[in-house]
Amino acid sequence: MMKISGRATSCCVALFFALTSVSAVQRLNSINDLKKINYGQSVPKHSLVLLYWFANTVDINNNNNNISLTFDPNSGDYGSHYYGNFERLLDRLPWGNRYYTIGNLHQETAMPLPRYVVHPPTEHMGGNRDRIIIRVREQNIVGQALQIDQVYITQHYEGPEHQGTPYDPDHTYQITTNLLRQIREFSAGANQQQLLHLRNRYGSNADVLHIRNTWGDLASLILLLNIVIQEKYSFNQQSCRLQNNYRQENRQNNAGDVASAICIAFVVLFVLFILAFSNKSGK
């Protein structure tokens, strides 16, 4: 009886740890959940840019919420590669599934991440620590896209780049399909009416007209960053700096054009003066 009891206790303990390991990763189900994360301090702001790109790159079936990959993670597309989960960051894989990590900015690939991800349009978003991890159901059907059943954002511990440091479990979050759908509403090139609707829906007072006129096709991303990180003034200041730099470059170019014209005119007058003096001397 004691042996049976001990075995039962061991099984209960194992089951407890298995269940708690599943609930250890916090789920983010909405943009309002994204707002609660401490960006810039404990979580890189760049993770939002990476997540925005990912949400607008995968396919989501409107009928069954299935998420399909539009690229091959086995080929290293978009800085992706196999993830072994050796540190037990995530759940143990079911049979026929694999984990992949996406977003290594320094990985050479035939399909690199877009420029706005590699070089974010706002300040203080550098670094290469943040990643997206996906759990994929592998299949042998030729021509059919791989199906994703779990999505996470995570980050490497701080340390030297390219050292393969493990991921930080305290700042790893599961991303639901609902959240991906909400982010997809901020699609690239959204018109001003859509941006205004999204701003009001998520309780922001960002200047949509200013964002649209300044950032163009990236306006939807900038609005999302304003809503989630709630740093509208810093982005507006960044916009003003970009505009001021542009105006300054124009002034410098215009000044250079004026100086060149004056210099050319001076040379022409000098040549005419020499020619006139030469004619008088010849007479």
Distance CA 180, CA 52 (A): 8
Phi, psi values for residue 65, rounded to 5°: 65, 15
Q: Where are the alpha helices (DSSP H) in 72-229?
A: 115-118, 177-184, 192-201, 208-215, 219-229
Within 10 angstroms of residue 95's Cβ, the number of other Cβ atoms is 5
- Comparing 30-44, 141-155, 221-235, 255-269, the range with the smallest average pLDDT is 255-269
**Distance of alpha carbon 118 from alpha carbon 104, whole angstroms:** 9
| pLDDT at residue 240 is higher than 50 | no
d(CA 190, CA 243): 22
Assess whether pLDDT exceeds 70 at residue 32: yes
Dump pLDDT digits (tens) for 44-59.
999 999 999 999 999 9
Task: For residue range 175-194, list pLDDT tens digits in order.
Answer: 999 999 999 999 877 888 99
Q: Average pLDDT in the 146-166 region?
A: 83
Q: What is the pLDDT of residue 163?
A: 53
Per-residue pLDDT of 87-141, as tens digits, reads: 999 999 988 899 999 999 999 999 999 999 999 887 778 789 999 999 998 776 6
**Rounded distance between C-alpha atoms, residue 90 and residue 283, angstroms:** 99
Give the strand pairing for 26-28 and 173-175: parallel
Quick one: tokens of 212? 């649209």
Q: What's the confidence (pLDDT) of residue 127?
A: 81
Contact (CB, 8 A) for 225 and 235: yes
